[in-house]
Amino acid sequence: MASGSNSLMWFRKGLRIHDNPALEYAAKGSNYLYPVFVIDPHYMEPDPTAFSPGSAHAGLNRIRFLLESLVDLDYSLQKLGSSLLVLKGEPSEVLIRFLKEWDIRKLCFEYDTDPYYQALDIKVKNYASVAGIEIFSPVSHTLFDPADIIQKNGGRPPLSYQSFLKLAGQPSWASSPLSTMISWLPPVGNVGNCEISKVPTIKELGYEDIQLNSVRRICVQDELTLFKGGESQALKKLRESIKNKDWVANFEKPKGDPSAFVTTATTTLSPYLKFGCLSSRYFYQCIQDVQKNVKRHTLPPVSLLGQLLWRDFFYTVAFGTPNFDQMKGNRMCKQIPWNNDDELLAAWRDARTGFPWIDAIMVQLRKWGWMHHLARHCVACFLTRGDLFVHWEKGRDVFERLLIDSDWAINNGNWLWLSCSSFFYQYNRIYSPISFGKKYDPSGNYIRHFLPVLKDMPKEYIYEPWSAPLSVQTQAKCIIGKDYPKPVVSHDTASKECKRKLAEAYELNKKLNGLVSDEDLRKLR
Ligand code: FAD
């Protein structure tokens, strides 16, 4: 790389200054640096036909989080003598145009395993290599390079967490200090007549008042502030999460309380990891530092470090599995004759199943864009193999849209898991939509908070309000069937039926060695 030339840093995820090897390399030896983010209509254009405010792919909570993260990034870049250039359009076209326009000789961006970015990157890389532009695209979103792990495993991804751990070992960078902060950046070069903007507001993106109002109706303001986007917030939250060393040392995932909403049972750092406002490697090192200074600590898979390794596990499997995000053509997915009942799906999605525990979780998803891991387990199990027998891909789509931490590899991996389509096969173990939540929160405070229509229901009935005598319902100002729905299914009957169908489907998958045809599935329906 000749010194004195122009470089372009293409931000996609990795919206941070700390532990950002692509940004560091972009700055090295360059006279001018163009830090760019492309507003991609595929993700950002308002879609008035979608079931909730937002674009076709993302709910408004996530879009807002992303814009906040960009504002924060711009601010940090300005402190280093630079600034964020916001462009709009199909990213590979926009990128190629500006590589030419600004005579870029070095292009840097974080490697991304998401299929959408893989396809974009091929186009950009093809152009750059023909034009003689140097490309630097390091792996820094995950702890390990998924391709390395797959290669170590003879070209196939490991399909269990334990085999993943064995292959992965200790990350090579774990015990040496990461270059966490950049102290200076080259100035932005001349942008010519190009259309550059500052980070747009949500209104400037075209989200009309009507969309904003409907979101405000469901989003209580102080709950939204739980997830303000950006690296500054991420680092602050990280410091708060790890300051209690005992909490970190004793972290044990399945023991957390999914109904805790005043102080959550886990770190709530997932939205920051999703957009790369927080480096997972930096997070890993911070946990390691705590663990070094305590006598005893929990271990993977249940420890906090173990959670980050789950993240890498799903990234690795997803990267090495064709059609990972669907049932058809996915060699690791059981073929199951799910139904496509849109009414049941809508009842689940819109918190109208009549099971308060399930509906409260779905309201939390709409309001916060985040729920505890076990809460996600409960609603995913209920929609698929537990009660409604709706296709996991439909539930995945709802999560993909509404979660702020929505992540292609992790979301698909967990839906495969929860629907007993892959990884986990004990389909007889079902989360009860009545008794599971009660174990943690017998008074139903979580339900009262997220479903205020039930706030005066006595605790004896809060998980099964349909069983309350009419006089109790009247007193609680909540008549079942009028103010709050009756249950969409009988849990006992529906769960038995689900188990029966899964047993049949598993049998067929075994007999046909997974090569089950559409016709076979139709016969099972
Ligand atoms: P913590 O417990 O504090 O863990 C720290 C970090 O470890 C998390 O931020 C996350 O990055 C990672 N992590 C924790 N649990 C898991 C897990 N089971 N799998 C992979 N990584 C994990 N997580 C997402 O980040 N994006 C998703 O789209 C997503 N979809 C899910 C869908 C379903 C059906 C289920 C059951 C789980 C899903 N999860 C997803 C995993 C998990 O629920 C969240 O990562 C976790 O609840 C985030 O909260 P936290 O940051 O407080 O987690």
Q: What is the DSSP string of 432-474?
A: -TTHHHHHH-TT-HHHHHH-GGGTTS-TTTTT-GGGS-HHHHH
Q: Which of 461, 498, 497 is nearest to 478 (CA)?
A: 461
Higher pLDDT, 326 or 520: 326
What integer best gives the mean pLDDT of the chain? 94
CA distances from 57 to 44, 53, 99 (A): 8, 11, 28
In this structure, the residue with its CA closest to atom 14 of ligand 1 is: 307
Instruction: Give residue 497 CA to ligand 1 midpoint distance, Å.
Output: 30
In this structure, the residue with its CA closest to atom 30 of ligand 1 is: 411
- β-partners of residue 197 are 86
Could you tell me the two tokens for 388? 């409604």
Pocket-testing residue among 308, 319, 373, ligand 1, by greatest number of atoms within 8 A of Cβ: 373
448-477 pLDDT, tens per residue?
Answer: 999 999 999 999 999 999 999 999 999 999
In sequence order, the 6+-apart residues with CB closer than 8 A to the CB of 523 are: none
| 3-state SS, residue 249 | helix
Q: What's the pLDDT score for residue 225?
A: 46
In this structure, the residue with its CA closest to atom 20 of ligand 1 is: 311
The span from the CA of 391 to the CA of 383, in Å, is 8
Instruction: Give residue 380 CA to ligand 1 midpoint distance, Å.
Output: 14
271-290 pLDDT, tens per residue?
Answer: 999 999 999 999 999 999 99
Instruction: Give residue 272 CA to ligand 1 midpoint distance, Å.
Output: 12
C-alpha angle with apex 525: 352 to 345, nearest 5 degrees? 15
Sequential DSSP letters for 15-44: --STT-HHHHHHHTTEEEEEEEEEE-HHHH
Q: What's the pLDDT score for residue 351?
A: 97
In this structure, the residue with its CA closest to atom 44 of ligand 1 is: 373
- β-partners of residue 7 are 33, 106
Q: Mean pLDDT throughout 256-265?
A: 94
197-250 pLDDT, tens per residue?
Answer: 899 999 999 987 655 555 545 444 445 547 999 999 999 999 999 999 999 999
Q: Mean pLDDT throughout 82-95?
A: 96
Instruction: Give residue 300 CA to ligand 1 midpoint distance, Å.
Output: 15
Look at the pTM and tell me if it is higher than 0.80: yes
> Of all atoms in ligand 1, which is nearest to the CA of residue 403?
28
Q: Which amino acid is at 67?
A: L
Q: What's the pLDDT score for residue 497?
A: 98
Annotated binding site, which residues?
266-270, 307-314, 405-407
Q: Mean pLDDT throughout 77-82?
A: 97
Pocket-testing residue among 362, 405, 422, 423, ligand 1, by greatest number of atoms within 8 A of Cβ: 405
Question: Do residues 386 and 495 touch, judged by C-beta distance below 8 A?
Answer: yes
Q: What's the pLDDT score for residue 209?
A: 60
Q: Which of 171, 174, 169, 167 is nearest to 149 (CA)?
A: 167
CA distances from 305 to 20, 165, 312, 319, 348 (A): 21, 12, 11, 21, 33
Q: Mean pLDDT throughout 104-123?
A: 97
Could you tell me the two tokens for 501? 């169908």
Q: Residue 27: how many CA atoms within 13 Å on its side-chain side? A: 17
Query: Has residue 2 got a pLDDT over 90?
Result: no
Annotated binding site for FAD, which residues?
266-270, 307-314, 405-407
> Of all atoms in ligand 1, which is nearest to the CA of residue 280?
11
